[in-house]
């Protein structure tokens, strides 16, 4: 994946395109693998959820390479209107989080700006036949005509995947929900909006506990908002939340019911002489993710990805530049609002590598052990089924070499905001506007 | 002794200030945040909206104006038609 002597690289496994009449509704807004990696859920701006399932590589299908195919599609959220405040509530799915699997069915949480829903996705591959009171069409039989009783038998049928909403968690957020996170206790989860974080029990929809509230008494004094939040992967009492000022607070729910006072405060010291109009905007953290080990966390700000050791609050242990060449373009990026784009980041299963997106359909991967990084492109032209992805390079000035692309030629409308890494294997999912690419690292 | 090397960020800031001399004193401060909190605000008449949704049959609705910009008078507006109201910088004290 990071180039080596043997022919090795990321190859396209699956490409799916959301299309219909070219519309904004087809833009993918979230991507998430489940715990086994066999299912990949995507949410889009039109409120739909599309789940992909990995094909089983088996003797009966020798040609299948473990591709992902569509497993289930359903409308999770609809557009709503809050009449009281004259607010349009977008149906866009902001986040999807899977629950750990406990039985044959799969459960996931999906959320838009205001409402979180728990969906059950189950398979049905048998149908009962031979009912007594109705015939095969479903029409009721005349009870006086029934002369004999029979026992209905189960017959196999074509696999049907059904999605049904099991819980609707509504009316708990005044501001826009940016994160949901399932707790390691598998019973509770948190939801975070710009100013508050709530704790829910998965079984209880009419009540939630507020655990963080940073709303000032006087809104004129508002200086920062919550941008992301996540539960610790193992310690069910610990969660973190990031802010628009580039800070992260770690909270312990055992210390008090309202976690307004943090247990740890992570902030990188800033050189005051380098401060500019853009400093705070580009320091805003758009995503925070714990490592699988639970020892580290990663934050994404506009230009970089930082890895923090939870035991050290004073500064990150690693800083990786995503697209430093954009620093000299901040003025135009502010004018076209791109400076406010919220990029996500993710760890691989062993926490040895991290990935995040950029512009021009580029995404970046960093190997923490070898300190090597690579820029790749997720686009149709670039993804031939058998060829491995070629590394890309952005030329920052001076002479542009062949195959390099200059900063001014980058397409800032082609943003890769959402990426996901399979929990165990080297399989990645990259969402490029209305296209989903799934790549697998294979040795030839 | 002149410092000839300006950081690219400061150079960009100078460019921005040159284009927008009245840009707020508080960079990245409350203005941004409040705009962010008010995303999606649209104003319309819910009575009109519901009537349009219900598709009144007894009354012949006046034909919609040919240009999409005409949203008052003849045309019953729906939320989709309305331009986004630019949020004022002063938040109403009634707003949650």
What is the arithmetic mean of pLDDT over A23-48?
95
> What does the pLDDT read at residue B64?
46
Tell which residue, B69, B87, B36, B64, has the closest CA to residue A86.
Answer: B87
Q: Tell me which DSSP letter residue A133 carries.
A: S
% of chain A beyond a pLDDT of 90: 75
Q: Which of A86, A224, A244 sits opposite B42 (nearest CB)?
A: A86
Cβ(B49)–Cβ(B78) under 8 Å?
A: yes
Cβ distance of B12 and A219 shorter than 8 Å: no
What is the arithmetic mean of pLDDT over A209-237?
94
Q: Which residues contact A92 (CB under 8 A, 6 or more apart)?
A: A29, A43, A44, A45, A46, A47, A77, A112, A113
CA dihedral of residues B41, B45, B47, B53 (deg, nearest 10): -60
Cβ(A93)–Cβ(A112) under 8 Å?
A: yes
Q: Is residue A212 over pLDDT 70?
A: yes
Q: Cα(A197)–Cα(A209) distance, rounded to whole angstroms?
A: 9
Question: How big is the A-B interface in CB pairs under 8 Å?
Answer: 97
Q: Tell me which DSSP letter residue B41 carries.
A: B
Residue B18 to residues A44, A82, B11, B15, B57, Cα–Cα distance (Å): 39, 41, 11, 5, 57
pLDDT tens across A290-317, in order?
999 999 999 999 999 999 999 999 999 9
What's the mean pLDDT when you consider all of chain A? 92
Q: Which of A88, A221, A284 sits opposite B40 (nearest CB)?
A: A88
Among residues 16-55 of chain B, which lie with CB inside 8 Å of chain A?
A: 16-17, 19, 23, 27-30, 32-34, 36-37, 39-44, 46, 49
State the nearest Cα–Cα gap between A276 and chain B, in angstroms: 6
Among residues 24-83 of chain A, which lie with CB inside 8 Å of chain B?
A: 81, 83
State the nearest Cα–Cα gap between A396 and chain B, in angstroms: 13
| Chain A residues with beta carbon closer than 8 angstroms to that of B19 | 331, 335
**Mutate which of A171, A177, A277 to test chain B, going by most B C-beta atoms within 10 A?**
A277
Q: Cα(A19)–Cα(A255) distance, rounded to whole angstroms?
A: 49
Confidence of residue A62 (pLDDT cuts 50, 70, 90): low
Q: When comparing pLDDT for B6 and A246, which is higher?
A: A246
Q: Is residue A218 over pLDDT 80?
A: yes
Q: When comparing pLDDT for A1 and A122, which is higher?
A: A122
What is the arithmetic mean of pLDDT over A79-88?
81
pLDDT tens across B51-95, in order?
766 765 445 445 444 444 545 555 566 666 666 655 555 545 544
pLDDT tens across A375-415, in order?
999 988 777 777 788 899 999 877 778 889 999 999 999 99
Q: Which of B33, B42, B46 sits opposite A244 (nearest CB)?
A: B33
What's the mean pLDDT when you consider all of chain B? 63
Q: What are phi and psi of B50, to 5 degrees?
A: -70, -35
3-state secondary structure of A32: strand
Q: Cα(A228)–Cα(A194) distance, rounded to whole angstroms?
A: 9
Q: Is residue A263 over pLDDT 90?
A: yes
Q: Is residue B96 over pLDDT 90?
A: no
% of chain A beyond a pLDDT of 70: 95
Q: Is residue A3 over pLDDT 50?
A: no
Residue A340 to residues A227, A409, B95, Cα–Cα distance (Å): 12, 20, 25
Cβ distance of A274 and B19 shorter than 8 Å: no
Q: Tell me which DSSP letter residue A335 carries.
A: H
Among residues 214-243 of chain A, which lie with CB inside 8 Å of chain B?
A: 219-225
3-state secondary structure of A213: strand
**ipTM of predicted complex:** 0.72
Q: What are phi and psi of A284, to 5 degrees?
A: -55, 130
Helix H or strand E segment including B35: helix B30-37
Confidence of residue A4 (pLDDT cuts 50, 70, 90): very low
> What does the pLDDT read at residue A334?
93
| Chain B residues with beta carbon closer than 8 angstroms to that of A89 | 40
């Amino acid at each position: 994946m990071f180039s080596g002597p043997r022919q090795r690289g990321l190859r396209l496994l699956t490409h799916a395109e959301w299309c219909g009449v070219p519309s904004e509704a087809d833009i993918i807004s979230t991507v998430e693998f489940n715990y086994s990696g066999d299912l990949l859920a995507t949410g889009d701006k039109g409120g739909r959820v599309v789940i992909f399932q990995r094909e089983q590589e088996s003797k009966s299908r020798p040609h299948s390479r473990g591709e992902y195919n569509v497993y289930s599609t359903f409308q999770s959220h609809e557009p709503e209107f809050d009449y009281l405040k004259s607010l349009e509530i977008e149906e866009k799915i902001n986040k999807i989080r899977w629950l750990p699997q406990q039985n044959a069915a799969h459960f996931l949480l999906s959320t838009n700006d205001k409402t979180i829903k728990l969906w059950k996705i189950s398979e049905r591959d048998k149908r009962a036949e031979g009912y007594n009171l109705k015939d095969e069409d479903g029409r009721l039989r005349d009870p006086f005509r029934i002369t004999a009783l029979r026992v209905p038998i189960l017959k196999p049928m074509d696999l049907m995947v059904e999605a049904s909403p099991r819980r609707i968690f509504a009316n708990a957020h005044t501001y826009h929900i940016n994160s949901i996170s399932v707790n390691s206790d598998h019973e509770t989860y948190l939801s975070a909006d710009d100013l508050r974080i709530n704790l829910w029990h998965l079984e209880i929809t009419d009540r939630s506990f507020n655990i963080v509230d940073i709303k000032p008494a006087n809104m004129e004094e508002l200086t920062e908002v919550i941008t992301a939040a996540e539960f610790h992967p193992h310690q069910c009492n610990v969660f973190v939340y990031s802010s628009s000022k580039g800070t992260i607070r770690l909270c312990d729910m055992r210390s008090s019911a309202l976690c307004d006072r943090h247990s740890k405060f992570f902030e990188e010291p800033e050189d005051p002489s380098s401060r500019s109009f853009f400093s705070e905007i580009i320091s805003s953290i758009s995503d925070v993710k714990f490592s699988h080990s639970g020892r580290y966390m990663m934050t994404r700000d506009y230009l970089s990805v930082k890895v923090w050791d939870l035991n050290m609050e004073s500064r990150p242990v690693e800083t990786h530049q995503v697209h430093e060449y954009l620093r000299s373009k901040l003025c135009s990026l502010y004018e076209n609002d791109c400076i406010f784009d919220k990029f996500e980041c993710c760890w691989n299963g062993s926490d040895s590598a991290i990935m995040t997106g950029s512009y021009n359909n580029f995404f970046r991967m960093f190997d923490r052990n070898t300190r090597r990084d690579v820029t790749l492109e997720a686009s149709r032209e670039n993804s031939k089924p058998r060829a491995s992805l070629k590394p890309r390079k952005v030329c920052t000035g001076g002479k542009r070499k062949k195959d390099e692309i200059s900063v001014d030629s980058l397409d800032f409308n082609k943003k890769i905001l959402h990426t996901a890494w399979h929990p165990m294997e080297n399989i990645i999912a990259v969402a490029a506007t209305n296209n989903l690419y799934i790549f697998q690292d294979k040795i030839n | 002794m002149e410092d000839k090397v300006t950081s690219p960020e400061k150079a960009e800031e100078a460019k921005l200030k040159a284009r927008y001399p009245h840009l707020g004193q508080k960079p990245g401060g409350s203005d941004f945040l409040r705009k962010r909190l008010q995303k999606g605000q649209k104003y319309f008449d819910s009575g009109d909206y519901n009537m349009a949704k219900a598709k009144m049959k007894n009354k012949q609705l006046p034909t919609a104006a040919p240009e999409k910009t005409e949203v008052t008078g003849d045309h019953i507006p729906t939320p989709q038609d309305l331009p986004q109201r630019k949020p004022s910088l002063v938040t109403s004290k009634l707003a949650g």
